[in-house]
Amino acid sequence: MRELLIALTLLAVGVGSAWGDQLSGELTCSKGCPDEATATVEQVFKAEDEGFSVIAYQVTWRGHKVIVEDPVRWTNLSVGDKVRFLVLKHDMTSQANGKRLLSFTVTKP
């Protein structure tokens, strides 16, 4: 589980850095974006180190297990709780190595 949490953190940092370098803050969003969804928390990922913390939740969204991030720690949910989140669709196909990306972020309670 620790390895998954580390991988998620590195992914979030890496994707954020890549977007900043390649896009200069110019993300476009597909039609209807962002969507808001609610799902049941299936697993909680959290860690603390020297006063710093991270929390994320595994949920099922449209039949897929996904990770919902809470980058500013608005929540402290448990398995079985409901979480509200934004579904963000980033259309980066206009970039050289463009992709269509999804991200999931907790909404403020």
Structural domain of 41: 2-106
pLDDT tens-digit readout, 59-73: 999 999 999 999 999
Kindly report the number of other CB atoms within 10 A of residue 59's CB atom.
21
Specify the number of domains making up the chain.
1
Q: What pLDDT, in 10s, does the model give residues 30-51? A: 555 679 999 999 999 999 999 9
Q: What is the pLDDT of residue 10?
A: 43
**CATH number reported for the structural domain that contains residue 61 in this entry:** 2.40.50
pLDDT digits (tens, 9 = 90+) for 3-34: 444 444 444 544 444 434 444 444 455 555 67
C-alpha to C-alpha distances, 37 to 19, 46, 50, 86, nearest whole angstrom: 24, 22, 33, 6
